Structure 1
Amino acid sequence: MFKDDLRSSIDVMVLPMTRAMSWLGITPDMVTFANFGVNLAAAFFLAKGRLIWAGILILFAGVLDHMDGAVARMTNRARPSGALLDSVVDRYSEIVVFFGLLAYFYHLNSNYSFYGVCLVFLAISGSVLVSYIRARAEGLGIECKVGIMQRLERICLITIGILAQGVFQSFYGTLQSEGLILIIVFLILTIGTHLTAVHRLIFCYRQLNL
C-alpha cells in the first residue's frame, strides 16, 4: 500500500518532466541509459568519499528509473525489449553503486573498514539473489513480488544511509565517523535481502508444488 502511494506521488511529481521528454523525442531507452550514467557518477563520488553528492545523485537516478516506464507509456513505446533492457541496466546500476561503496570502505582505513567491505559484499549477493529468484520464478510462470527488501526498499535504505553518513562526516570528519551509519545500514540490508531471498524461494517452491 505504501509503495503504491509512493509510486503515485512520484508519478505526479515527474509528470511535467515526462511530458517534456516526450515532446523532445527522448526515448525510454535514453532515459534508462541516463539512469545508469547518473548511478555511475554516484559510484565515483562514493569512492571519493563525497557522500552527500552521491546520495543526491542516487535520488535523481531513482527518479529517472521511474521515468523510463512513464515515458514509454506516454509515447506508446512500452515493449518487452525495453522492459528487459531496463531490468538489466537496473542490475548494473545497483552493482556500480555497491562497487562505489566497496571503494569507500576500502579507502576509509578505519577500524571498521573490513566489516564494511564484508557487509557490502554480502548485501550485493543478497540483492542479486532477490532479483534472480524473481526472474527465475517468472520464467516458470510465477509472479514473485514477496519479501521485505525489494528494489524500492533497498534504494531508499541505501540513499538514507549515504546521506546520513555524509551529514555525519561533515560535522565529525571522515576518520572520526568511521562509516558506522553505513555499516549499520548494510547490516540491515544484508539480513533483509537474504531473508527476502529465502522467503521468495519458499514461496515459489510451494507454488510449484500446489
Structure 2
Amino acid sequence: MTLDQFRPHVKVYFDPLVRFAIRCRLTPNVLTIAAFIASAAAGLLFYFRLELWAVIAVAINAFCDAMDGAVARETKSQSLRGDFLDHAVDRYADIFIITGIFASGLVIWPIGVLALTGVLMSSYLGTQAQAVGVGRYYGGVLGRADRLVLIMLAGIATIVYPLTIFSLNWLGWLLLLFGVFGHLTAFQRFAYVWRKME
C-alpha cells in the first residue's frame, strides 16, 4: 500500500511544475526547507485546532517534499548533503505533524506516541539498511507518501463529517493505524535486511 509505485504514472503531470520551479531558480534545498516550515506550521495549526489550515499546510509539505527530489534529479544536483537534509527534515515533519495532532487533544496521547514511534522506527530501518551495507529499503505496507495523503483525508473528514467510534475520531483511528502498520512496516524492513545480511 505505498503510493511511491504510482510515481512514474504522475511524472507526466509533475514535470511542468518541476520545470517551472527550475525557471524560478528554486533549488532542492530551498524546497526542502519550505517543506520543513510547512510541517512545523501544520503541527502548530493542528495544535490550535485549525484543522483546515493544518491540512493545507500538510499538502504544502507533501508538495515541497516531492518537488525537492524531482528538481534535484532534473538538474542533476543530487548530493549527500541534500539527501541528508531531506531525511532529517522528513523525520522532523513526522514529529511536528503527529505531535501537533495528539498534543491538541484531538487524539489521546498513548495512541499518538504509538503512531510516532511506529513512523520513526519504520523510517529509521529504511535508511539503517544502507548503513549496514544492504542499501536503502522502503518496502512495507505504509510509506511516507501514504501517511501524508491519509492525514489530509482524515483531517478533511474530521471537518466535514465529525464522527466518533469507540471514543476515537477520524484522526484517532488514523494514528492508531499509523502505530500498528508503522511497527509492522518496521518489522518487515528489519526482517528483509536481516535476511540480506546472511
Tell me how far apart the structure 1 counterparts of residues 151 and 60 of structure 2 sit (CA, whole Å): 13
CA contact (8 A) 2:2 2:145 kept: no
Q: Is 2:143 the partner of 1:154?
A: no
Match of 1:203 in 2: 192
Tell me how far apart the structure 1 counterparts of residues 4 and 173 of structure 2 sit (CA, whole Å): 27
CA-to-aligned-CA distance 1:33-60 (integer Å, 9 cap, x gap): 0011111111121011111221122122
Match of 1:194 in 2: 183
Q: Is 2:125 the partner of 1:136?
A: no
Count of paired positions: 195
Structure 1's 4 and 41: CA in aligned 2 closer, same or farther, altered over 3 A? closer
Which runs of 5 or more structure 1 residues have no equivalent in the other structure?
none
Please list, as runs of the form range in 1=range in 2, the aligned pairs for 1:37-56 lying within 5 A after superposition: 37-56=37-56
- Which residue identity does 2:142 align to in structure 1? M
Query: How far is 1:146 from its partner?
Result: 2.1
CA contact (8 A) 2:39 2:93 kept: yes
Give the stretch that moved more between structures: 16-25 or 34-43: 16-25
Q: Is 2:145 the partner of 1:145?
A: no
Query: How far is 1:164 from its partner?
Result: 1.0
- Which residue identity does 2:53 align to in structure 1? W
Query: How far is 1:10 from its partner?
Result: 4.1
Tell me how far apart the structure 1 counterparts of residues 26 and 182 of structure 2 sit (CA, whole Å): 34
Tell me how far apart the structure 2 counterparts of residues 42 and 55 of structure 1 sit (CA, whole Å): 7
Which one has more relative contact order, counting CA pairs under 8 Å at least 6 apart? 2
- Which has more helix, going by share of residues? 1
CA-to-aligned-CA distance 1:159-199 (integer Å, 9 cap, x gap): 21122112224xx8xx9xx7611111111111100111111
CA contact (8 A) 1:41 1:57 kept: yes
Q: Is 2:98 the partner of 1:102?
A: no
Tell me how far apart the structure 2 counterparts of residues 43 and 145 of structure 1 sit (CA, whole Å): 25
- Which residue identity does 1:160 align to in structure 2? L
- Which residue identity does 1:124 align to in structure 2? L
Match of 2:17 in 1: 17
Tell me how far apart the structure 1 counterparts of residues 102 and 176 of structure 2 sit (CA, whole Å): 14
RMSD, aligned α-carbons: 2.2
Tell me how far apart the structure 1 counterparts of residues 140 and 66 of structure 2 sit (CA, whole Å): 21
Query: How far is 1:103 from its partner?
Result: 2.1
Identity %: 30
Match of 1:62 in 2: 62
Query: How far is 1:126 from its partner?
Result: 0.7
- Which residue identity does 2:193 align to in structure 1? C
Q: Which has more radius of gyration?
A: 1
- Which residue identity does 1:138 align to in structure 2? Q
Tell me how far apart the structure 1 counterparts of residues 194 and 188 of structure 2 sit (CA, whole Å): 10
